[in-house]
Structure 1
Amino acid sequence: MPPQTRGTALRHRLAELRGPDVPAKALDARALAALAANPGCRRRAILDGAGVDKTALAGALGAPSAFGQSQFALTRGNAFEAKVKADGGAELLRLVREHLDPGAEPATRAAAVPDLSAIGPEGRTARTALALREAAQATEPAEDGEGGEGGESSQGGRGGGWVLLDHPMLALEVAGSPAFLEPDAVVVHPDGSWTVVEIKSFPMLDGSADPAKVGAAARQAAVYVLALEEVAARLDPAPRVRHDVLLVCPKDFSNLPTASAVDVRKQRAVTARQLARLTRVQDIADALPEGTCFAPDLPAEQLTAAVEAVPATYAPECLSACELAFHCRQRSRAADEVTTLGRAVRAELGGLATVEDVLSAARGESGDAADPAVAALRRAAALRAEALGVPCP
């Protein structure tokens, strides 16, 4: 089957899974980073790939999740972002230069802010790629006789300067299906390099922010860096995508912006490796029973059967990253799975998949004594019995 025909068939199949007349929910970088953190979960892969609204699905299953930002936090974040980008992004460019490119010429004039509006995500992605290409061409070395000394302008290129892309649209292939991503901003430096900017509403107190929130922002920015690298790879010569992203936050308890450079090389490498491990959405869809549908308006019994038809890989970390976490936790507990205790515990227990298997092995009722996990459990049981003064099981 030709690739174009396969793509059309896959889109049709995903629409069937999503439900008739149910609009697709876009896969953003936050969700993509969470998906990359748990690449073995086929359930999340197919639901995200099909554009299923997992919040509505969780509510229909009777396990609603409080996952997500409050309306107040969203409003505050939008107001802060507008403040950072005011006056053509003058303050944002100052922060970029101060923290990432102090040797660059200051923005003596307003940065170029290309119009990125277009119809649909595909159109916006193409318009973003065109704007980045034009910015790269503007910073190419000048021919002899053009610009200043050495054939280059004072901005390091042929009329090159600062360029600010406000909410560009990038595309990244995930498990054989395209995901459209929208970073807060991308800045093109006078030397032609590209920087991802993440604007968050949590504060930086005395120059540092909550490490957990910074880590989540870094994983999200790493997804944008990966997508931006794919755009750069299609240009000749390929511009440099900086791995130091700019994190902009309110300073202390004010609404004044401050920033910090965050190195996302580690997060980028991990995300790229995990995304490469994802099972293709097409393969998961092909394995589902005919008629499977995740439309939230279906009867609860039918919806539960559809969700259970796709294997999940639950871990406690899912509670802060996935809307279906409460449903998956209920099922995991009902099945007595050791994954409810965390990935680290699950990794230590080897082939012991249920809590009853673990207790039985510790009591010496089952398991191979030569298995390191079984031997450790029996030793732990003996130490516990000794400490409590009770007979060893």
Structure 2
Amino acid sequence: MDARALAALAANPGCRRRAILDGAGVDKAALAGALGAPSAFGQSQFAFMRGNAFEARVKADGGAELLRLVHRTVDPGAEPPLRAQVPDLAAVGPEGRAARTALALREATLSVEGTGPGTGAWTLLDHPMLALDVAGSPAFLEPDAVVVHPDGGWTVVEIKSFPMLDGSADPAKVGAAARQAAVYVLALEDVAARLDPAPRVRHQVLLVCPKDFSNLPTASAVDVRKQRAVTARQLTRLTRIEEVADALPEGVCFSPELPPEELTAAVDSVPAAYAPECLAACELAFHCRRGSRSAGAVTALGRSVRAELGGLTTVEEVLAAAHGEAGDPDDPAVAALRRAARLRAEALAAAAPAGDTAREVARCP
């Protein structure tokens, strides 16, 4: 699991389907194609190359421009980053890289004499490796960068290729970046908790994007305290992957090589919690949407609609309640539906011609 997958999983913790597929390392894009519901989720090759080129520009010259943005945006009271350390984080395997990152963070935070934090220079960790326990399984995460300030504090840096126009960016994309960064903050806090004294992990992350329509970097500080709290709470509520696996039918397999009917039955044997927000976060969204629509589930209309409908879980139940054919009239959701149906009928009747046509329109569901 990477930070993007964890952020999506934390945003929809009730989806056991995504939990088991991510935990098993299943290629969901290939799986969606084999199911006949390929998704356009993910970056195009052009966007991927443009993002890599922009990140390389931001980190050029030992990260001088990136550190300048951190100093100006997040910590203007600190000494200017005239000199900076960029430790080598190379190691064998993700476990080795995570251990090397933890050591580099400790060395950057504490002084050479060991008298405590606050005496070092600026330090830039380029693509460090962090570990986070998720539902009993380790997840290795790789943020774009982590900066250690002269006072010993740590800041997560997210570099994105979407533009900031007149100082603001697409709120949906900024929200997704904030949720992803919140996962990195949680992982950094785990590292910080093992140090004595524990350094401060800043809850303001630096979001670096192209300025307007140029390739020049600009930055904004994003407060991720809310996203961090929500993600931490949702991750603790995630069902352990072993429990999800134990509930699967014997011999179930998610290989894209299986016949379509057998593969569909295997995937549908794991409960999903589809919502329209999944279209921007999961490769299986089109398959889950198709199943949700065929079952008439109101979740296909969005979580806010589902919350307003209370115990009514299918479109048929909603229509029956609105027409007075089912439902408890004392239920606030049922009462609101019937009132809405009456208002709709009155509006259609007022707009239609007089006579039989008006009566027919008024009876339309």
Shift of 1:139: 7.5
Shift of 1:348: 1.1
Find out whether 1:100 has 2:60 as its counterpart. no
Listed one character per residue, the Cα deviations across residues 95-153 of structure 1 (whole Å, up to 9, x for unaligned) are: 111111111112232x211111111111111111111111122288749xxxxxxxx9x
Contact 1:139 1:190 in 2 (8 A): no
- Counterparts of residues 315-330 of structure 1 (less than 5 Å): 315-330=275-290
Question: Are 1:164 and 2:124 an aligned pair?
Answer: yes
**Secondary structure, in 3 states, of the residue corresponding to 1:232?**
helix
Residue 208 of structure 1 corresponds to which residue in structure 2? 168
Q: 8 Å contact 1:139–1:192 — kept in the other structure? A: no
Which secondary structure does the structure 2 equivalent of 1:205 belong to?
coil
* Cα pair distance change 1:189/1:385, threshold 3 Å: same
Find the aligned partners of 1:139 and 1:183 in 2 and give their Cα distance.
Answer: 26
1:74 aligns with 2:38: no
1:56 aligns with 2:19: no
1:225 to 182, 185, 195: 185
CA distance 1:139–1:370, change in 2 (3 Å):
farther
Say yes or no: does 1:122 pair with 2:82. no
2:144 counterpart of 1:184? yes
- The whole-number CA distance in structure 2 between the counterparts of 1:383 and 1:106 is 64
Partners of 1:32 and 1:59 in 2: how far apart? 22
Q: Deviations over 1:304-347 (max 9, x none)?
A: 11111100001111111110000001111111111111111111
What corresponds to 2:227 in structure 1? 267
Give structure 1 stretches of 5+ with no counterpart.
1-26, 144-151
| Identity rate, percent | 82
Q: Which residue of 240, 244, 268 maps to 1:308?
A: 268
Whole-angstrom CA distance in 2 between matches of 1:80 and 1:261:
19
Q: Which residue of 2 aligns with 1:359?
A: 319
What is the CA–CA distance in structure 1 between the aligned matches of 2:220 and 2:280, rounded to whole Å?
A: 25
Q: Deviations over 1:11-63 (max 9, x none)?
A: xxxxxxxxxxxxxxxx2111111111111111011111111110010001110
SS in 1 for 2:85: coil
Please tell me whether residue 288 in structure 1 is matched to residue 248 in structure 2: yes
- Quick one: which amino acid aligns to residue 267 of structure 2? V
TM-score (norm 1): 0.87
- 2:293 corresponds to 1:333: yes
2: CA distance between counterparts of 1:336 and 1:142?
A: 64
Match of 1:133 among 88, 106, 110: 106
> 1:293, CA displacement in angstroms?
1.2
- Per-residue deviation at 1:388? 2.1
- Contact 1:129-1:231 within 8 A present in 2 as well: yes
Distance 1:303 1:123 in 2: 37
For residues 130 and 173 of structure 1, what CA distance do their matches in structure 2 show?
A: 19
Aligned residue for 1:34?
A: 8
CA distance in 2, matches of 1:119, 1:298: 35
Secondary structure of 1:138's counterpart equals coil
Alpha-carbon distance in structure 1 between the residues aligned to 2:176 and 2:344 = 39
> What is the aligned partner in structure 2 of residue 13 from structure 1?
none
Say if 2:347 is the partner of 1:387.
Answer: yes
Pair 1:199–1:140, CA change in 2 (3 A)? farther
1:276 partnered with 2:236? yes
Q: Distance in 2 between matches of 1:124 and 1:364?
A: 63
Distance in 2 (CA, whole Å) between partners of 1:237 and 1:117 is 26
Aligned to 2:354: none
Amino acid at match of 1:312: A
* In structure 2, C-alpha distance between the alignment counterparts of 1:285 and 1:57, rounded to whole Å: 18
Instruction: Give yes or no for contact 1:171–1:178 (8 Å, CA) kept in 2.
Output: yes
SS state of the match for residue 110, structure 2?
helix
1:345 maps to 305
Number of equivalenced pairs: 353
Matched letter for residue 299 of structure 1:
P
For 2:230, give the aligned amino acid: V
Q: Distance in 2 between matches of 1:378 and 1:140?
A: 74
Does the CA contact (< 8 Å) of 1:41 and 1:313 recur in 2?
Answer: yes
Amino acid at match of 1:188: V
